[in-house]
Amino acid sequence: MMFRLAKKKWMRSLYWTIVLVFLVSLLTAFIYYFVLIDELEIKPKTIVNSDNLEKQINYRLSGLELGLKQNRDLLKSIRFKLDRVFKDINGNLNKDNEDSDPSDYIRDQSICAKSSPQKEFKPNISMPDVYEELKFDNPDGGVWKQGWDLIVNETLFSKGHKLKVFVVPHSHNDPGWIKTFDRYFREQTKHILDNIVTKLSEDPKLRFIWAETSYLSAWWETVKDPKMKTQMKALVDSGRLEIVTGGWVMNDEANVHYFAMITQMVEGHEWLMDHLGVKPKYGWAIDPFGLSPTMAYILKGMGFEGMVIQRVHYAIKKYLASKQELEFRWRQYWEHKADSDIVCHIEPFYSYDVPHTCGPDPKVCCQFDFKRLPPSKVYLLIPIQSNPFGLSPTMAYILKGMGFEGMVIQRVHYAIKKYLASKQELEFRWRQYWEHKADSDIVCHIEPFYSYDVPHTCGPDPKVCCQFDFKRLPPSKVKCPWKASPHKITDSNVHQRSLLLLDQYRKKSMLYKTKSLLIPLGDDFRFDKLEEWDAQTENYQKLFDYINARPEWNVEIKFSTLGEYFESFKGIHSFPTLSGDFFTYSDRDDHYWSGYYTSKPFFKRFERILESHVRSTEIIFSMASILNPHSLDRLNALMPLFVYARQNLALFQHHDGITGTAKDIVVNDYANRMYRSLENLEKISSQSIMNLLHYENIESNQLKLVDKLPNSFSTSTKSLFIIDDNNNQNWHFVIYNSLGFASYELVCIHLQPMVNNWCIKDNDGVEVEDIQMNRVWSMDKLLTDRVEACFVVHMKALSLAEYSVGICDEKRGVHKKSAVTLYNFGQSFNNLSEDLVSFDETPTEIQLDNENIGLTFSGADGMLRKLSIRDVTTNLRMKFMTYGTRSGKKVQKSGAYIFLPDNENAQDLVYSNCKIRITKGNIVTRFETIIEKPIPIRHQISIIKGKRYIEMENEFFLSQSSFGNKELMIRFYSDIQNDDIFYTDLNGFQMIKRKRYNKIPLQGNIYPMPTTVYIEDTKQRLSVLSGQPLGATSPRSGWVDIFLDRRLLQDDQRGLNQGVVDNRKTKEIFKILLESTSSEPTAPTQPLKPSLEAQIELQKILSPPILMYSTMKSTISEIYFLHNPLPCNIHLLNMRRSSKANTYSLYLHRWGVGCDAKCAANSTVVLSQLFSPFITKSLEPQITRMSLSSLHEKESDLSIDSQLNVEEMHINVYRLRTRGV
């Protein structure tokens, strides 16, 4: 406080000096520059004496001459600015945002518990009610195994009420799964897109839908013939090729955080707008393994009108189908108006492939998948070349020359094969036509039949041969597994085949209320070959023509897009409303897809790190672009690097990316892309920060991240800063807080040499007094080359501040070493030094505390026993546990997707002689438990001065073969009487209430925990916040289970064809809060949410301060971009520079307030008051509220002076433009 007063006094004297300088007309330029500094809220580097001031003025002057030339036109505004300077000096000083620490807004009182969805706006269908009602008993439904025997009510259809059938051709293209993105593209998707353009251009009746923009973009970049692009655009313009969803990928909905969900959609939509000028209207999520209402909210917010989903628990499908409620308006449970409802359609049957989309009987539907027709010569593609074979004699020559004695070939024109076969001449000596001796002849064998696959190699009858291809045993998709194959549609069978198909259509239509019927026609990577196009389109067109020609059948049928389907009943039907989500998915029996919530957690953590860097770089890059219009060329040159990083963050949101369900080689490809993306982001952040802080020689220098970039083997390591005697120079750090609120944060850096007289100075040049020096360890090994210095920094909202580190004179600043106590570390540490004591025997109980928190640990297992946070205490015990999987041959087991435990009860992880290390200091105290067997684990609980949570870090490596087919889990036992209720989040965007049911097996009671889980009773709430998405449940009252990692030796029969054994050394981070709850229930209109403190702490896990370093000093030591803090429950989600010049999207999200928060529920934001004046001055006054992906304008008559109101729980996007330079 004292310091701040002194600073203001100084600032005042500086202002007057500047005015004087102005009056003597010495330096117009100086004034301009001064104003610029003032408005940026920049503080010059050094203070306070007048000598320094004079030096500073001279220094700045010399730098200004150049700037003056560039900025002559801006000088006009100087007088206006000067006026403002006077105003500020006369007592109207800018409100300093220094005091905006969010803890000011947290009341010292209980948080509200037992909040429940509001009643006044109750939906027609509430998923929690459906769960109550369902038996989950899975009776056999006949041909529709998971349904019932459908009977068609013929009277429903008449001349005026025809059944309108919309057959929608599609191809599901995973951006990485069995093959990498690039390989899929090269081998399959490129051809599919080529074929779409060719075939749709040929036949005006054809339609197609396409979902994944990542592949469209790859196609656009590689296609050589510009005519193809023109044709593609024409098809999109005409609506015949419809882009559905249009995200970069079809994202997972369990593990994905809403920031990344929006990012991946924006990447897709921006590309579509820039290249095809199209705005998608309908969503298509047929493959994500469970569906989240957050996605519905985001689609609606992006201007979508309808959506299709597919992977919903079979029992829920059946329930909704029985009430004709598979189409509904999906509503957020906390929403009190219909505005955010979106029409949602659930596909009723097992899968999105052809056998499960035409009607209830897959045996029948499969016969109308004409890709599965037995091949005939019509579909042969081998062109006749100038030589009689599709193969070159040059190859024969080369082989012979290499000493080969024979060769086998296959792709030869069928007529030639037939001719040679008729003469038994399929084996011959292949000779060069110009050869006049037999020396170069090579024996050649031609395979006689259509293909080299099993059906065409055993003999002439592929039907027979195929029966001996045992790979095609179910569930292979290659042919119809129901022993009835498709028939080519001919004049003689068209009548019978039409009736067979129509019966299925009519039955499916019985499940929906409208007379419109959606029939997806496609599968994974379909339509890659022209013969499939011909087979599907010709046979279906024959059926359509025949059916449409019979008015007495009361059916209209055609190829169509998804949009045509939704528009057919727009405004005619009103659907029931539904609230809730569709987790946890089961496709059959007790096979619940809850394994992928945790599979490959190393990469799940990696993703969150990348995500945090994308967000922070977006914001700082925008700030640099807005504030340094004269450096725009240099910043623009970084744009391709940035786009790469955004697109690869987007790519990993794919439902086989972050889910951990891709093959190892694909996972490595994703990891490489993420690593390169981080390198790019480091470069972009560095350039942005150097521009903003006016570093010298920006081109030739780069700031580096203190936390080294994660790579495939490590998600976090610290850089080591060495100061040797020869170069006693300082290191300079920039601390970047990307969040819209201020906070005190712990910062720890690794230094060499091992001395205690380090000096750390803040941006005012003031020495940090309180520094804790720690020893550094790697598991149980002491690293003797470094010390760790930990100190607390105060970060202003959205700010940059420079710190420096060096060695002081011996007589000054000797900092306190932390005291280390070791148990079970062996003799080598005995009597090492005063502040390191080692014991062979562990006490029964170990207690640690600080001013807020008390911890009691058991010495026996090194785990927590009791936790007190302020006045709340619970017997909080933690324990590592494991699950196995089922045993026996032909028994479905756990795999990448599915969790099938061997037992409802988890087993304790048995270990003995764990090492315990306690590091006690004045700022941070750590309790570490090191387990060696059966797997290496380091478990750390920390408490930090001033904080009201405990930090938990778990580092482990499940590489041991003894840990095969096991899941590692941590269980929390508490006194909280939550019964069977617990709460998890959806995509970090909202909380949802969960209930554990005995009628559902253990694996079905596990839910995604993208960020948060809590349990509560009328006294307390225990929250666990996570730095990585995982699976969680509450298996009994008072318990919370969090799954940490899994190692599985086998495939789980969902197409991946491998287990999960590429485990990495993984570090997972958590914060644990224990809060008292108010016994008074919250007003029923309140959405469920974590306390304000938990929300703030979660943001700090997900967007931690970014530390960058260099040996150079900046010219400006601090900038803060916010003039006033944001309302305490509004989160600065993003500030993204768009692909269009000078355009930015500002994303604000209002979390909402609980009764623990003092912030006003309805506070508004005025941008001209929020941002620093210089930012405001750089912006066009007019702003526009946009849809979430900025495709549509929502409110255009806004200005930077408007009171912007973000409603509780909502995200608003504002388009800002900078003034022309």
Residue labelled with tokens 């920094």: 793
Task: Give the nearest residue (CB) to Zn ion.
Answer: 287
796-855 residues near Zn ion, rule: CB under 5 A: none
Closest CA to 588 of 1060, 126, 133, 140: 140
Least Å distance between CB 1066 and Zn ion?
25
DSSP structure string for 245-266: S--SS-B-SSS--HHHHHHHHH
Least Å distance between CB 896 and Zn ion?
13
Tokens of 1172: 């620093």
At residue 1057, the 3 state secondary structure works out as coil
- DSSP label of 287: S
Cβ proximity to Zn ion: between 593 and 721 the closer is 593
At residue 418, the 3 state secondary structure works out as helix
What's the Cα-to-Cα distance from 1140 to each of 273, 274, 1187, 1215, 1218, rounded to whole Å? 11, 9, 16, 11, 11
Buried residues in 948-960 as b, exposed as e (16+ CB within 10 A): bbbbbbbbbbbee
Buried residues in 747-756 as b, exposed as e (16+ CB within 10 A): bbbbbeeeeb
Cβ proximity to Zn ion: between 209 and 1130 the closer is 209
Cβ proximity to Zn ion: between 528 and 928 the closer is 528
- DSSP label of 73: G
Cβ proximity to Zn ion: between 524 and 679 the closer is 524
Least Å distance between CB 599 and Zn ion?
15
Question: H/E/C letters for each residue in 1093-1134?
Answer: HHHHHHHHHHCCCEEEEECCCCCEEEEECECCCCCCCEEEEE
Cβ proximity to Zn ion: between 310 and 617 the closer is 310
The 327-331 sheet, strands edge to edge:
125-126, 577-579, 327-331, 342-346, 306-309, 282-285
Closest CA to 631 of 691, 717, 720: 691
CB 312 within 8 A of CB 288: no
Measured in degrees and rounded to the nearest 5, phi and psi for residue 133 equal -80, -35
Rg (CA), the chain: 33
List, in order, residues 6 or more apart from 184 with CB less than 8 Å away: 173, 174, 175, 176, 177, 525
Least Å distance between CB 175 and Zn ion?
9
Cβ proximity to Zn ion: between 174 and 1017 the closer is 174
Q: Are strands 111-112 and 1066-1078 parallel, antiparallel or unpaired?
A: parallel
Cβ proximity to Zn ion: between 174 and 1097 the closer is 174
Closest CA to 1047 of 962, 938, 1173: 962
Identify the H or E element spanning 907.
Answer: strand 907-908
At residue 313, the 3 state secondary structure works out as coil
- CA separation for the pair 347, 332 (Å, rounded): 21
Least Å distance between CB 265 and Zn ion?
17
Within 10 angstroms of residue 1061's Cβ, the number of other Cβ atoms is 16
Q: Compute the residue count for the chain.
A: 1221
Cβ proximity to Zn ion: between 287 and 581 the closer is 287
**Region binding Zn ion by CB under 5 A among candidate stretches 284-292, 542-550, 816-824, 988-996:** 284-292
Quick check: 212 binds Zn ion (CB under 5 A)? no
Least Å distance between CB 172 and Zn ion?
6
Least Å distance between CB 843 and Zn ion?
54
432-471 residues near Zn ion, rule: CB under 5 A: none
Least Å distance between CB 261 and Zn ion?
17
Cβ proximity to Zn ion: between 266 and 662 the closer is 662
Task: Out of 38, 41, 253, 287, name the contact with Zn ion by CB under 5 A.
Answer: 287
**Region binding Zn ion by CB under 5 A among candidate stretches 283-291, 600-608, 666-674, 694-702:** 283-291
Least Å distance between CB 255 and Zn ion?
15
List, in order, residues 6 or more apart from 960 with CB less than 8 Å away: 934, 935
Q: Fill in the per-residue mask, 173 to 202: x = in contact with Zn ion (CB under 5 A), - = not in contact.
A: -x----------------------------
Least Å distance between CB 654 and Zn ion?
8
- How many residues bind Zn ion (CB under 5 A)? The answer is 2
What's the Cα-to-Cα distance from 1025 to each of 164, 985, 1100, 1101, rounded to whole Å? 49, 10, 11, 8
Cβ proximity to Zn ion: between 208 and 897 the closer is 897
Least Å distance between CB 522 and Zn ion?
12
Strand partners, 450: none
Residue labelled with tokens 């802080």: 693
What's the Cα-to-Cα distance from 705 to each of 25, 612, 692, 697, 1109, rounded to whole Å? 44, 13, 17, 19, 6
Strands (E) across 205-326 are located at 208-210, 241-243, 282-285, 306-309
Within 10 angstroms of residue 1221's Cβ, the number of other Cβ atoms is 12
Least Å distance between CB 663 and Zn ion?
13
Least Å distance between CB 655 and Zn ion?
5
Tokens of 441: 């002849």
- CA separation for the pair 13, 316 (Å, rounded): 72
146-175 residues near Zn ion, rule: CB under 5 A: 174
Cβ proximity to Zn ion: between 174 and 253 the closer is 174
List, in order, residues 6 or more apart from 457 with CB less than 8 Å away: 447, 449, 451, 465
**Region binding Zn ion by CB under 5 A among candidate stretches 282-290, 320-328, 766-774, 987-995:** 282-290
Annotated catalytic, 287? yes
**Region binding Zn ion by CB under 5 A among candidate stretches 266-274, 286-294, 878-886, 1016-1024:** 286-294
Cβ proximity to Zn ion: between 287 and 353 the closer is 287
Which residue in the list 101, 252, 287, 1045 is annotated as catalytic?
287
Cβ proximity to Zn ion: between 884 and 1055 the closer is 1055
Residue labelled with tokens 């521009």: 691
Burial of 425 (0-12, 13-18, 19+ CB in 10 A): exposed
Binding-site ranges for Zn ion (CB under 5 A): 174, 287
Q: Mind telling me the catalytic residues?
A: 287
